[in-house]
């Protein structure tokens, strides 16, 4: 019997510190809201230098497990769906910028997701949910001419619909997809006057949710997203 080679790779000290700190969080020795021990305490406990401690803690911060503030002790965070998707931001944006196909796939995924969310909203929405959607629409109307703020209110409108589900993962998915798409939202929205179409379509969606009609809500959402999908495009070299 021929045994395969299985070389043992020497790990960086910071990797070993990272694993030990992560284990403290996983086992509950360090809980959400707890302050991390001081760097000096950790250096003495693990018998390593300050760079290894800082690298390990930065890695935990990148995972959304620690909050690092200048001049204060790092704090353990409770992992959330939002923090999970934030870890994917850089990789997702690189993937999207590298291929128009990837951007098209994301647009299609968004339509598939939002048609389900708006059906759920039409079934579950309470008066307070309708009021929040109306407030968001009113704020969006007040932001005509301010492209960044208008698009921000647009994103909030769609995330509000996802929140009605009561499922925090749905909310995080909505925020992530909209955030990734925002980088490819062109100024066509403003200078063509298409923002008025957006407002009227949002109003129609609210009416369908208010009436508790999931089929009509889904049709309104599909019409809205199919029209607006052309506003998300990859920039070419000629675009600067």
Instruction: Say whether both 49 and 137 belong to one domain.
Output: no
For the chain, the maximum distance between any two Cα atoms, rounded to a whole number of angstroms, is: 76
Q: Could you tell me if 17 and 133 lie in one domain?
A: no
Q: In this predicted structure, what is the pLDDT of residue 230?
A: 65
Residue 200 structural domain: 85-235
Strands 66-67 and 75-76, bridge-based pairing: antiparallel
Q: Is residue 3 domain-resident?
A: no
Distance CA 108, CA 112 (A): 6
Indicate whether 147 and 28 sit together in one domain. Answer: no
Work out the average pLDDT over 139-147.
Answer: 88
Model confidence pLDDT, tens digit, residues 193-215: 678 888 999 999 999 999 999 99
Highest mean pLDDT among 16-20, 128-132, 188-192: 128-132
Query: Which of 79, 95, 120 lies at the terminal end of a domain, its last residue?
Result: 79
> Which of 62, 79, 96 is a domain's end point?
79
Identify whether residues 51 and 121 lie together within a single domain.
no
Give the helix ranges, DSSP H, for 27-99: 39-46, 50-62, 81-86, 89-98
Of the pLDDT bands very low, low, confident and very high (cuts 50, 70, 90), residue 71 is: confident
Q: Do 101 and 164 belong together in one domain?
A: yes
> What six digits make up the tokens of 153?
């209110």
């Amino acid at each position: 019997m021929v045994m395969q080679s299985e070389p043992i790779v020497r790990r960086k000290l910071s990797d070993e510190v990272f694993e030990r700190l992560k284990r403290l969080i996983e086992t509950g020795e360090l809980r959400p809201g707890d302050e991390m021990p001081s760097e000096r305490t950790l250096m003495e406990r693990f018998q390593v230098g300050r760079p290894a401690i800082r690298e390990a803690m930065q890695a935990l911060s990148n995972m959304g497990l620690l909050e690092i503030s200048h001049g204060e002790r790092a704090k353990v965070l409770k992992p959330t769906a939002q923090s999970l998707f934030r870890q994917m931001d850089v990789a997702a944006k690189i993937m999207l910028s590298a291929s128009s196909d990837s951007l098209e796939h994301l647009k299609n995924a968004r339509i598939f997701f939002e048609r389900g969310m708006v059906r759920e909203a039409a079934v579950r929405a309470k008066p307070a949910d309708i009021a929040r959607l109306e407030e968001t629409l009113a704020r969006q109307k007040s932001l005509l001419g301010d492209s960044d703020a208008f698009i921000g209110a647009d994103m909030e409108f769609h995330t509000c619909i996802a929140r009605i589900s009561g499922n925090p993962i749905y909310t995080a998915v909505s925020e992530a997809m909209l955030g990734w798409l925002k980088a490819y939202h062109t100024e066509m929205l403003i200078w063509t006057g298409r923002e008025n179409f957006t407002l009227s379509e949002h109003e129609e969606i609210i009416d369908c949710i208010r009436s508790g009609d999931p089929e009509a809500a889904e049709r309104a959402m599909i019409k809205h997203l199919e029209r607006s999908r052309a506003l998300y495009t990859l920039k070419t070299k000629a675009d600067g």
